[in-house]
Structure formats: C-alpha cells, structure tokens
C-alpha cells in the first residue's frame, strides 16, 4: 500500500511577518534579510508553520516517500515501513504505522502494542510516544547515550508518561551506568535492568533468532527479568 508523506518545500509569497521562525521549534526557518525559507535538512515536517502562517504562503505538497506493510511473524503481527532511498522518517509516518498496528491489536484483542521508537527527540519520537501507557528507554553507557536519554526522559515527563530505563552492555562502563541510573531516577524514571555484554546477542543476530531463543545466558536472563518488570509496572 502506498503511503503519502507531506514535505515542506517553500516559504515564499508571504508578508515577512516572521511568525514561522518564531513557532518552529526545530530552528528550520531561515531568515535572510527578511526573506524566510525552510531549511529542508532541519525541517521535521511537523506542519506548525503551515498552520500559523497568516498568508498561507507555506506549501506542503504530498510526496510518496515509502510504503508501509502489515506482516505476520512467528510472534504475531508486525506493522512496519520501508522508506524510499534518501527519504527520511517523520512523525506522520510513525503515526500511520502506529494507527494501523492499533487497529490490528484492537481487532485481535491483544494485550500489548509494542512500539520500537526511533532515536533522537524529534517528531518521530514524539509520535512514537503519543498515546503510550509507558516508555522504556534503552540506552548504553556512553556520553551520547547519557545525553540522548536525558532528552527523551524530559520529553516523556512533558507528556506525563511513566518512564523506565534499561542499560545495554552496562558492564563496558559500570561507572557511567551508575551515573546514568542515578540521573534517570532524579528525572522520575525507574531503572529496571542492566543487560551485560554477551556474545550470544551477536550469535542471535546471525541466526535471525531472538536472544531468548538463542541462549539462556546472562543477556537472555536479564531480558526476561526486564519484561517481567515491565509487565508488573504497566
């Protein structure tokens, strides 16, 4: 099935009021001596500038950027999308995939709808957590992991969602793992697990298996504990 995605392409023909620059939270409106235009590399496609522009000068033509699929897996249905080469993920795409997944889950009376959220904190992440009951943030003990985690936790807090964190490969930097957990707790998130470095994870990927199917080692054991903790939390 073809999926349509909106892409902003121009900010011409307006009054130069600057409102678009003011309302864009992503700094994607360029102002060159009073001439406003959209930087396509920074634009998240949220459409806020279109909504607010009093002169209706910002155009959003439809552009096909990928296709979404509904597949059957050995663990149940999975809704996913494939982007065309060079196309970017967006909040609209994530919302579409979630909407279709929800329809299937409700029809089957499924207990859980799991959404694999994209990285970052832009529109795709906001769309992925919208309407969720809880957020599990999986991070790694690195500076960039710590930085991104803080931003996602702030986002979840902003939407009033309970957050849990788990640290993947925590034992490659135990001090950083402890620091991340302490910061997460300060933000109101609950640390629910630490997955150790385990070569069985690579073996599972090679064999196209889940870690639970591949091994009964430390990563598999911890993953099971994390799932139990999630089930008892939500």
Long-range contacts of 31-40 (CB under 8 A, 24+ apart): 36/11, 37/10, 37/11, 37/12, 38/8, 38/9, 38/10, 38/11, 40/7, 40/8, 40/9
| Per CB under 6 A, 125 contacts ligand SF4 | no
Give the integer Cα–Cα distance in Å for 52 and 19.
7
Specify the residue, 35 or 231, whose C-beta has the smaller distance to ligand SF4.
35
| Per CB under 6 A, 19 contacts ligand SF4 | yes
Give the integer Cα–Cα distance in Å for 234 and 220.
22
DSSP, res 208: T
Query: Which one among 7, 8, 126, 166 touches ligand SF4, defined by CB under 6 A?
Result: 8
- 79 contacts 126 by C-beta, under 8 angstroms: no
Query: Which one among 3, 5, 7, 58 touches ligand SF4, defined by CB under 6 A?
Result: 58
Positions of E strands within 89-176: 135-139, 163-168
Query: Which one among 3, 5, 7, 11 touches ligand SF4, defined by CB under 6 A?
Result: 11
Nearest by Cα to 36 from 55, 59, 18, 60: 18
| Per CB under 6 A, 14 contacts ligand SF4 | yes
Query: Which one among 17, 83, 200, 229 touches ligand SF4, defined by CB under 6 A?
Result: 17
Segment contacting ligand SF4 (CB under 6 A): 15-23, 64-72, 73-81, 213-221? Answer: 15-23
| Per CB under 6 A, 28 contacts ligand SF4 | yes
- 49 contacts 58 by C-beta, under 8 angstroms: yes
Segment contacting ligand SF4 (CB under 6 A): 40-48, 67-75, 111-119, 151-159? Answer: 40-48
| Per CB under 6 A, 49 contacts ligand SF4 | yes
| Per CB under 6 A, 15 contacts ligand SF4 | yes
- Give the residues lining the site for ligand SF4 (CB under 6 A): 8, 11, 14-20, 24, 26, 28-29, 36, 38, 43-49, 53, 55, 57-58
């Amino acid at each position: 099935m073809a999926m349509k995605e909106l892409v902003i392409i121009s900010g011409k023909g307006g009054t130069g009021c600057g409102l678009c620059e003011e309302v864009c939270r992503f700094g994607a409106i360029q102002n060159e001596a009073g001439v406003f235009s959209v930087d396509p590399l920074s634009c998240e496609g949220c459409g806020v500038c279109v909504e607010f522009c009093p002169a209706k000068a910002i155009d959003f033509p439809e552009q096909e950027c990928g296709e979404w699929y509904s597949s059957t897996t050995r663990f149940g249905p999975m809704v996913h999308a494939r982007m065309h080469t060079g196309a970017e993920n967006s909040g609209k795409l994530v919302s579409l995939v979630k909407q279709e997944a929800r329809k299937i889950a409700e029809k089957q009376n499924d207990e859980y709808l799991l959404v694999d959220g994209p990285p970052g904190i832009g529109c795709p992440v906001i769309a992925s957590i919208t309407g969720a009951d809880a957020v599990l943030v999986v991070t790694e003990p690195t500076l960039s992991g710590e930085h991104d985690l803080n931003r996602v936790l702030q986002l979840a807090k902003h939407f009033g969602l309970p957050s849990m964190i788990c640290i993947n490969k925590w034992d490659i930097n135990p001090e950083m793992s402890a620091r991340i957990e302490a910061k997460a707790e300060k933000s109101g998130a609950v640390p629910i697990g630490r997955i150790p470095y385990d070569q069985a994870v690579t073996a599972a990927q090679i064999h196209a298996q889940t870690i639970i199917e591949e091994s009964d080692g430390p990563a598999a054991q911890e993953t099971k504990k994390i799932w139990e903790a999630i089930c008892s939390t939500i």
